[in-house]
Chain A
Amino acid sequence: MISLHPQKEFVFPIIAEGINPDVFQDKNRGEIEELEIWEGNKQKKLGELFKVKETGTEPQQEDIAIVIYGDLSRVRRIGAWMKGGEITINGNVGMHLGEEMEGGKITVHGSVGGWAGSMMKGGIIEIHGNASHYLGAAYRGSSQGMNGGRIIVHGNVGYEAGAYMRKGLMKIYGSVGQFAGFRMHNGTIYIQKDCEGRVGACMKNGKIVVAGFLESVLPTFTIESIRKKVKIGEDDVAEGPFYRFLGDLTENGNGKLYVLKEENPHLSTYERLL
């Protein structure tokens, strides 16, 4: 296991694509310290910014485990493109965590910045704090969002979680901001608490489950039925009853939006249309 400790409080953005189990593979401590990392517009060595320690098992093992301690809220792209191994972060972490990752696991005992798990294809990201905007979303200009894997957030999430999502599962145990599941093509988003609105805007397919309060459903969704329960992923079920809306009509969409009836009595006006 490799552990990293920041040498100082970071002021400028740190681009740390090198902090990745695939990169650390087959490298000893000295080689890891020599890895390149950017601080603002200056190129540095990893060892200049982080104290690297080897603990426990040998670094040559098949699945490398990296543990990072401290405030990394200005450190970006940790675990980007990783294919295996494990990263545990004890503290807050910056943007683009696990961007385009294909496998492995990232656990954060803190909050994360924007674009966490954006365009990820596989693996697991578990966040025990809050996540900022564009969780599992697409990069600017791209229409390919999260395409596999799982994201679990125990806190709240910002705007546009799961935008352009194509596959995978996102479980949010807190509240979310607007435009969750914007233009999603497939996959599942489960929101246990409240949702700010505009959920599922322009969605073409997929499933969004809101088990908390939702102020309003977009006018371009139409009510279809009331369901007793909804399946979340492969092995989980949310107990209802849920209003089931279909949309988005503007995109000829067949997306399913489930909203818990008990938490949303103001949506009972839709029942006259059933």
Chain B
Amino acid sequence: MPVVKAVPCPVCGSLCDDIELTIENGKIVKVKNGCAMCESKFLSHNSEHRILKPLIKRNGKLIEASFEEAAKKAAEILADANYPILYGWSSTNCEATRVGLELAEEIGGVIDNTAVICHGPSILSVQQVGIPSCTLGQIRHRADLVIYWGSNPWSSHPRHIERYTTFSEGRFQRSTWKRYLLKVKASIVRKKIESALRRVFFKKKPSTPRIGGLPPSMLREGRKLVVVDVRKTKSAEIADYFIQVEPCKDYELLQALRALIRDEEIDVDKVAGVPVENLEEVADLMIKCNFGILFFGVGLTMSEGKMRNIDAALSLVRDLNTRTKFAIMPMRGHFNVTGANTVFTWQTGYPYAVDFSLGYPRYNPGETSIMDILLNKESDATLVVASDPAANFPQKAVEHLVKNPLIVIDPHMNVTAQMADVIFPSAFVGIEESGTAYRMDHVPLPLKKVVNPPRDVLSDEEILRKILSEVRKLKEKKLVEVA
């Protein structure tokens, strides 16, 4: 059976490129090196939920149609619209996104990607403050202090810790995997002893609250992992030090750390539920490290304060760079959301929420972002590519989304597709279609085509090119009529 090696995984922003796939009779039968999400995507891409033919809604029912017919229908909807929106783009390749931007310009629409509901605030702050960043390779080999803030990589990016941070074996930094195993074993033994003591003396579980000071693991040499979150996640359990911040108080904590790094005095005893003496120790730890990295997730971007939380985090890292070497990186979700931002930027100058309605690109999240447009009920047609907004947008936004003509390009019959007027089946990017995707550290990686798509199923790029050509034909026809 043929084995394809070094396949990039099209699931999360880590874009692990060491996956090995075993192919049998044109189907993937075995996945090696991948996490549970990776395995699930590669093995079940050909599930029963797959769409195999273009569909058009007629009399409230989705009816099979030819590709040409569906493309014409989609083009008519988009060309006639006064304020259409084109959304998705983070789970497809850069080549398709490029055509999508061309289409948005042609129809005078608003084009937005999924960054708007995850790391959009990060981008706004990066534009305001700047970002001292690096590649994941540098982190793997050099970082001796790793901080995850508002992120739970153990669940969201399962191989991030193993491949790029504390559990990875770097050239200059050793993996802390064994230390973690010892910690787990010690914890099990401690729990057993405590349980035995409880049974013998019929006492309640002894509470051993630690007041102030860093745990002994933080005083050791080598890599250290710190997690800051509102609850003790699985990532927090494996961390050397966990800071539990009060919900929606991240901004205060970040600002307090900034002040401490500048050797300023703080008037209060606790910030965001954390004693100031602990924060002083964390600030010392940050200053004393040789290469620190702060990863932040949607726990920071989407909690109260949003872009200003990121403003504070970026400013903290900027301040730290006056004392040591420190970098910061957003934990991007979809495998090519960074690519979507990159293509948007080099095509239009703006990374998301780009409005072409006046004939030139404009950008103002809050005004030209899909969520605001839907909640203000301003759009009159939507094209969704490789996304499922109906499953995760607020109800009011979805109500307006489905009230107007909706076109979906997706391999699966997802919630949005079920409510669509025109549906195009597409090939899975990274499995049935090659292309380019950007990892969370802005490193572009070539995606592989390992199996063929089902018969007559085209790629996102080909479908979009066809719609674009139909839109152009309609516009030419209209011009001739006017003339």
Contact = CB atoms under 8 A, between A and B. Distances in A.
Interface of A: 11-13, 15, 38-42, 74, 76, 95, 114-115, 133-134, 139-141, 143, 178-179, 182, 198, 201-202, 218-223, 248-250, 270, 273
A198 B366 contact: no
Nearest to A163: B308
B103 to A, nearest CB: 13
Contacts of A38: 357-358
A220 B255 contact: yes
A201 B308 contact: yes
Interface stretch (B164-172, B264-272, B382-390): B264-272
Nearest to A179: B308
A11 B259 contact: no
Interface residues of B, number: 41
8 contacts: A12-B82, A12-B378, A15-B358, A40-B82, A40-B378, A140-B363, A250-B264, A273-B267
Contacts of B357: 13, 38, 40-41
Interface in B364-385: 364-367, 376-378, 380
Contact of B255 (A11, A41, A250): A250
Contacts of A182: 308
Contacts of A74: 376, 378
A218 to B, nearest CB: 6
A114 B128 contact: no
Contact of A219 (B83, B256, B356): B256
Interface in B244-267: 251-252, 255-256, 258-259, 262, 264-267
B252 A222 contact: no
B277 to A, nearest CB: 14
Contacts, number: 100
A139 B367 CA distance: 12
A40 B80 CA distance: 12
A102 B6 CA distance: 60
Given A12-B378, A201-B255, A249-B264, 13 more contacts: A38-B357, A140-B124, A140-B127, A179-B305, A179-B308, A198-B252, A201-B308, A218-B252, A219-B256, A219-B268, A219-B271, A270-B267, A273-B267
Contacts of B363: 140
Nearest to B279: A219
Contacts of A140: 124, 127, 363-365
B416 interface: no
B109 interface: yes
